[in-house]
Structure 1
């Protein structure tokens, strides 16, 4: 909709807001509104001082959804910030449908069943967006992924079956943290007053944080694939020389991932340069390991080649995250670029 800008005083301009929006939020004369500027596009987000969020509850139509679709629907409503989700139908819920609800309850953090009937189950989320800071959650995700990667490489180096199981088990933890992160990002986008509560000065980093978290999840997937390779091929311990090459690559990737995390959480141009240098070292180690595998052909060669591919893929995801950190750094240091 369009609004005409009006002259309200000698140096004051104003626009009206839609009447239905005013009624929806119960806004009256003298109430304060919050404006948040989109620093990349220049648009304004306007919200009431106390937003009226009438969609904190949702009902999922169980009659129309099978078990898999039902679990995805609960997942979606959780990310959208619903506090109360009813799964209801006209017919009794099937066993697979009830199992889907229980599965969602297990891996969506803070979700719990509060009422259960023959045709309906109600779940509630006990977590508020202000319970966590985004940087803290981001750090937890990075540490979890780094632990998974180290365990996966321990399993590869030593043929350690227990380490493979630890990696696979932690995948659910990454999933929990990922969807919790999305829930908080969405809530903060809708209500800019939460910026400070989740550790941000403005909402500008939200999209960048979302991208960084997706990269972490993809890196965790790569670690899980390495663990599955070890398990499925019943890998024995590597010889000393091969293990040394794998360890050198792993250490370089650890350094680059940690430097990139620092650049995202505390963005400045120097930290992004350090992370970029660390990633160049990873590239060198990848080339070195690939050359070693090509020339010496140690066993299990196929598993080693695929594991190196997975580590190289993790390095690419780290580089994508570094691009996000670089954007944040240029925003934090306006002296680097002057807009005209």
Structure 2
């Protein structure tokens, strides 16, 4: 860490010098403007104009990569906030068909991504996402809502033996993944450029790590819902072989899981410690619901029992992810002054 001596230039003006190496690296010269960002704990961030206007680009060379590796590399560059991604075959080469397909597969997975130039040797992809079009809070709520809808459709499909409804839930998984990866992109870019924190709805960068964890937990709950929908499609008759009273208990369990999942996200985005406490209390009431339902089942074939257990495990895991999100919400809420906390 470097230190600088503060000097007084006038009755109310204090000044300090900028490190020469930093100024040279960012092409900051006399007369240029820089931005100042006041953060918590007495921090002051200095940002050159280039940080605010630069459109980051990346080049992916395909010659030593298979199609899956190219696709993953495109997704990674998207998450890292690149505005333009070039996919090139390398010197004197042409792109293989599988590499071209990988580009278009990645394009369908990512929000705001589109091919802007294509030749036999290279493809250029541009991300048109503007951070100011989204807030992290809204995207977290959308991701939670998508997972909840998938869960409801999967369990309802099990109750009514409706494979079309289960397929609808599976189709939503792609949208859930798009929202999740967009969240990662905005979180990474806001971390790299503090100016963007306000653009995505935050006063400072403190919540970013917590939001990253919440987003991952919500993505995993969508995976749990996907598992339930797949059970519907794989099961003969597309329904669980249980009594109507048992199916009713499973649907009630689903409603309770949905409630605490939504409440945990609300607690995080609203910095509501009371809501986080309520999530824990509600979870305590359903913490053993999986075993309660299983223990009340009559004798049945192992395969049928296993399917029921898989559904209940998916719901139980989703509830556990809600508790994790409530823990993060607790940390976010208690970092701000409220009726419960005074920060000195």
Structure 1 length normalisation: TM-score? Answer: 0.90
Give the alignment of 1:1-340 within 5 angstroms. Answer: 2-9=1-8, 16-23=17-24, 24-26=26-28, 28=30, 31-37=33-39, 45-48=45-48, 51=51, 54=54, 56-89=56-89, 90=91, 91-234=93-236, 235-236=238-239, 238-293=242-297, 296-297=298-299, 300-333=304-337, 336-337=340-341
Match of 2:123, SS state, is strand
- Relative distance call for 1:30 and 1:254 in structure 2 (3 A) is same
- Relative distance call for 1:25 and 1:307 in structure 2 (3 A) is farther
CA distance in 2, matches of 1:224, 1:36: 43
Match of 2:183, SS state, is helix
CA distance in 2, matches of 1:220, 1:110: 21
Displacement after TM superposition at 1:155 (Å): 2.0
Q: Is the 8 A contact 1:155 1:163 kept in 2?
A: yes
Q: Is the 8 A contact 1:25 1:51 kept in 2?
A: no
Q: Is the 8 A contact 1:268 1:333 kept in 2?
A: no
Superposed CA offset, 1:47-97 (max 9, x none): 236625646111111112111110011111111111111101231111111
Match of 1:174, SS state, is helix
Displacement after TM superposition at 1:336 (Å): 3.8
**Structure 1 unaligned blocks of 5 or more:** none
CA distance in 2, matches of 1:196, 1:52: 13
CA distance in 1, matches of 2:29, 2:131: 24
Match of 2:117, SS state, is strand
Displacement after TM superposition at 1:119 (Å): 1.0
Count of residues in correspondence between the two structures: 335
- Relative distance call for 1:316 and 1:69 in structure 2 (3 A) is same
